[in-house]
Structure 1
Amino acid sequence: MEEGMPWQALIDPMKPHDPKTSKKGGHPPLATMLLIHLLQQWYSLKDPAMDETLIEV
């Protein structure tokens, strides 16, 4: 998947809309969030199911 996806071409248009992280924490990098979103779509995972999957990994 990493070799077949044009990650940078997908991430670059999102960068201007990326909220800045704060000192209290923040979100994962855009590439990670995009990957999580795509996995949710491909495998029909809802947010709780994705949370469980990420914890297992």
Structure 2
Amino acid sequence: MPTTADLFDYNRPLGEMTREIVKVVLSQCGGNQTLAAKRLGIGRTTLWRYLNETD
């Protein structure tokens, strides 16, 4: 699991940082996607898209 400092390495692409933040919040919510989406202020579909995006 990355540290907070790793999450905000400004040399990383935004999409990569976003996916990592989503994964951290999802982990903190015990895998509950509905709760994670609510904490992030996004919809469950958007959460799913972030988790399934590939570069």
TM-score range normalised by the length of the shorter chain: 0.3 to 0.5
**Greater relative CO, 1 or 2 (CA 8 Å, sep 6+):** 2
Higher Cα radius of gyration: 1
TM-score (ref. length: structure 2)? 0.42
TM-score (ref. length: structure 1)? 0.41
